């Protein structure tokens, strides 16, 4: 809510014209003995006198209320204006100023309304979110008219209405196979035998086995008690590593083109939501802020925490050492999903080191299919081709280290690589 101060009023050109008519016509009427000139001047004169006599001095209070403070990309909400004043204002023109990724749904038109004393004027206008991030209405420019448009006043009134715009998550699902299911309970099949659903085998009964686990057909056939062994269901830890050290591509909203960071944010949100819904622990490491990782936790609250981080994601360069230090802090059993356009050698080198250390890594390629390059010179195209060659080299090097790289295709994007990783993790290893 904002209360406008007493403002200075300025005469409009209409007042000058009215005064000229009022001053000249009656004098001419007397001088030329033409009462018709006086009659012609009368409406303008009466209107001017009434207007100036009943004019307003103060601007009204302005209040805003946003119907929904959190939106998805492309969704719209309603903002309700409430104007209340103590004086009659003939016309009040409002021009809201939006910042961030919101816009007025009708193209930013202005609004003209009136304010009556003792009455609250209310009206709604739609607000549209264009892209993930934050948006706010921070100021509203007012132009008030009083005295039937003869006086005007301009003011800029601070208001605050913030909207949080969450990334649009495609319906993402993934296989329940994860390389290293750990923890206590969960939905993923672990390699350990325990209480679960998936069959691990049939073995002889030993003291401590539950009676309901006895496999009666096998026991009858062999004449010795056997029990059905199952693999225990455990949760897993998923760490999403966001490579925000670079940003390429134009970010024009949910229906437009996407930048590398757009793709990273949307895919990270979808992956995090999927694993958190399955009861897993999910953490996020933003490489542009390596000192502030989001620790892995489970639950709906964690999704809100992750979204807050994603909304603040900005491109920022980082040194190779900082990347390595940040990645080294990830727990050995965690499934590391890296969302990266694979354009920087620092990140690629650090990821290769992580893979050599036996970590389970999946890289989701976030380079958009088509990028419109900002043209700086005739060499831009050549430089871009060199950059792509460089990227191909990085991808080749990472593949050589056994790091799977997949393009983000929504649901099921990671199924194949997760199964392969599970098999790899379950395979016996040679000890040196």
Partner 1 sequence: MTGPLVRLQSSQRRVSLAPVFEQRRRWTASAACVRLVQVLAGTAVLLLPSRHIVIVVVLLVVGVVAAVVSPARNGQAAALLGGVLGWLFSDGLAGSPSLPRVLMFAVALFVLHDSTSLAAAVPMTCQLRPEAMLGWLRRSLLALLGAGLLAAITLGVGAIVQGSTSAPLQLVGSAGVLALLGVTAWLYTRSLRS
Task: Between 155 and 229, name the residue whose CB sits nearer to partner 1.
Answer: 155
| Least distance from partner 1 to the Cβ atom of residue 162, Å | 18
CB of 252 to partner 1, least distance (A): 6
Q: CB-hemisphere CA count at 13 Å for 32?
A: 11
Helix axes of 260-277 and 300-311: crossing angle, nearest 10 degrees: 170
Could you tell me the smallest distance in angstroms from the CB atom of residue 164 to partner 1?
18
Neighbour-count burial of 113, counting CB atoms closer than 10 A to its CB (0-12 exposed, 13-18 middle, 19+ buried): middle
Of 70 and 121, nearer to partner 1 (C-beta) is 121
| Minimum gap (Å) between residue 322 Cβ and partner 1 | 14
Nearer to partner 1, 223 or 396 (CB): 396
Of 11, 12, 57, 59, the residue nearest 156 (C-alpha): 59
**Beta carbon nearer to partner 1, 28 or 305:** 28
How is residue 212 annotated by DSSP?
A: G
Q: Give the max Cα distance, the chain.
A: 135
Whether residue 130 contacts residue 73, with contact meaning beta carbons closer than 8 Å, is answered with: yes
Q: How far apart are CA 2 and CA 96, in angstroms?
A: 14
User: Which of 190/251 has CB closer to partner 1?
Assistant: 251
Q: What is the distance between the alpha carbons of residues 88 and 85, in angstroms, rounded to a whole number?
A: 7
CA-CA distances (angstroms) from residue 2 to 152, 279, 311, 409? 20, 45, 28, 47
* CB atoms near residue 120 (< 10 Å): 14
We find the least distance from the C-beta atom of residue 70 to partner 1, in angstroms, to be: 21
Q: What would the two tokens of residue 18 be?
A: 């009215």
**Nearest distance, CB of residue 121 and partner 1, angstroms:** 8
Nearer to partner 1, 110 or 224 (CB): 110
């Amino acid at each position: 809510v904002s209360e406008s101060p007493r403002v200075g009023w300025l005469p409009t050109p209409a007042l000058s014209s009215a005064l000229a008519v009022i001053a000249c016509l009656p004098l001419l009427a007397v001088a030329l003995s033409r009462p018709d000139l006086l009659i012609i001047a009368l409406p303008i004169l009466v209107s001017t006198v009434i207007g100036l006599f009943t004019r307003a001095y103060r601007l009204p209070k302005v209040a805003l209320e946003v119907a929904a403070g959190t939106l998805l990309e492309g969704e719209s909400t309603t903002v309700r204006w409430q104007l209340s004043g103590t004086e009659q204002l003939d016309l009040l023109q409002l021009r809201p100023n939006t910042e961030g990724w919101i816009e007025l749904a009708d193209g930013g038109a202005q609004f003209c309304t009136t304010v009556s004393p003792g009455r609250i004027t209310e009206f709604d206008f739609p607000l549209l979110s264009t892209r993930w991030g934050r948006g706010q209405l921070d100021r509203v420019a007012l132009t008030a008219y009083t005295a039937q448009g003869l006086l005007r006043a301009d003011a800029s009134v601070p208001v605050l209405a913030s909207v949080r715009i969450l990334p649009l998550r495609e319906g993402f699902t993934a296989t329940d196979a994860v390389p290293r299911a750990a923890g206590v309970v969960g939905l993923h099949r672990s390699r350990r035998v325990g209480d679960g659903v998936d069959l691990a085998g049939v073995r002889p009964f030993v003291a401590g086995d539950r009676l309901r686990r006895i496999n009666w057909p096998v026991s009858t056939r062999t004449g010795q008690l056997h029990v059905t062994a199952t693999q225990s269901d455990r949760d897993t830890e998923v760490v999403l590593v966001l490579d925000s050290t670079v940003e390429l591509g134009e970010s024009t909203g949910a229906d437009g083109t996407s930048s590398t960071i757009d793709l990273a944010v949307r895919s990270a949100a979808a992956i995090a939501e999927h694993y958190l819904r399955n009861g897993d622990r999910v953490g996020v490491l933003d490489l542009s802020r390596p000192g502030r990782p989001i620790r892995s936790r489970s639950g709906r609250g964690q999704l809100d925490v992750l979204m807050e981080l994603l909304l603040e994601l900005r491109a920022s360069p980082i040194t190779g050492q900082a990347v390595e230090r940040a990645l080294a802090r990830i727990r050995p059993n965690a499934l590391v999903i890296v969302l990266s356009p694979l354009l920087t050698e620092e990140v690629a080198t650090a990821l290769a080191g992580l893979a050599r250390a036996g970590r389970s890594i999946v890289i989701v390629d976030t380079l958009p299919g088509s990028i419109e390059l900002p043209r700086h010179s005739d060499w831009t195209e050549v430089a871009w081709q060199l950059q792509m060659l460089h990227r191909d080299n990085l991808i080749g090097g990472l593949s050589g280290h056994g790091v799977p790289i997949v393009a983000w295709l929504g649901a099921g994007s990671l199924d194949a690589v997760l199964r392969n990783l599970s098999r790899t993790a379950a395979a016996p290893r040679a000890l040196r």
